[in-house]
């Protein structure tokens, strides 16, 4: 493993974090609806699970999914159901004003972030593919630990930083003015992602 391979890995990570998907959409909506602190804690939950998927790919979970497709199917179906549940709840409460319900506790915000990224077992397949392309095949335990900790560090910096950026007064004020429409768009996208995950082979 070389420093160049870690740089390449980090560039792929940054592109993946910034790409539209359930985790980014959930972070945006949670931060705008519940504020900076909740958004940053949710981001930490998203970051932790994303790094854990890479850790599991390093340990060969993608190979286990290949040997036992039913395990992947079960996890994928549960994840799709969770995303659909979030979509339904977001749609139902689109017209509810901010402050109508108390923001989630720190623990619940962190766990919600974990669950959103846990809901996408394709992450371990993606991580496995990226690892194979960027790093040599015979990685030692120490090198695997470095890759995992590097991923965790990048995620723990970038995800809360996104929440911090999204929580600025100007961005939040715009969200509040268009909350019903934006929440319903978010619900539709999350629902579509859940259905896509459920139907994807």
Tens digits of residue pLDDT in 129-156: 777 778 877 778 888 899 999 999 999 9
Which pLDDT belongs to residue 132?
72
The pair of three-digit structure tokens given for residue 21, joined into one six-digit string: 């998907």
Place of tokens 């623990």: 107
3-state SS, residue 178 = coil
Residues whose CB falls within 8 Å of the CB of residue 67, separated by 6 or more in sequence, listed in order: none
Q: Contact, 191 vs 78, CB < 8 A?
A: no
CA distances from 123 to 37, 61, 108, 178 (A): 26, 11, 22, 32
Let me know if 1 is exposed, middle or buried by CB neighbors in 10 A (0-12, 13-18, 19+).
Answer: middle
Which pLDDT belongs to residue 101?
59
Which pLDDT belongs to residue 197?
72
Predicted TM-score (pTM) of this structure? 0.77
Tens digits of residue pLDDT in 69-80: 777 777 778 777
Exposure on the CB side of residue 72, measured as CA atoms within 13 A:
18
Burial 127-138 (b: 16+ CB within 10 A, else e): bbebbeebbeee
Residues whose CB falls within 8 Å of the CB of residue 126, separated by 6 or more in sequence, listed in order: 16
What does DSSP assign to residue 117? H
């Amino acid at each position: 493993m070389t420093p160049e391979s870690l740089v390449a890995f980090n560039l792929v990570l940054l592109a993946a974090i910034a790409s539209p998907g359930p985790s980014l959409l959930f972070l945006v909506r949670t931060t705008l609806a519940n504020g900076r602190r909740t958004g940053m804690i949710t981001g930490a939950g998203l970051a932790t699970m994303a790094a854990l998927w890479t850790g599991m790919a390093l340990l060969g979970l993608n190979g286990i999914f290949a040997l036992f497709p039913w395990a992947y199917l079960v996890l994928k179906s549960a994840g799709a159901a969770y995303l659909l549940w979030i979509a339904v709840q977001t749609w139902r409460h689109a017209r509810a004003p901010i402050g109508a319900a108390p923001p989630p506790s720190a623990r619940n915000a962190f766990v919600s972030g974990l669950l959103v990224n846990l809901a996408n077992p394709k992450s371990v397949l993606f991580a496995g593919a990226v690892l194979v392309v960027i790093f040599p095949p015979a990685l030692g335990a120490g090198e695997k630990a470095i890759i995992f900790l590097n991923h965790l560090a990048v995620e723990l910096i970038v995800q809360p930083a996104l929440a911090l950026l999204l929580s600025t007064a100007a961005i939040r004020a715009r969200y509040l003015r268009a909350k019903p429409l934006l929440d319903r768009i978010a619900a539709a996208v999350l629902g579509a992602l859940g259905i896509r995950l459920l139907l994807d082979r």
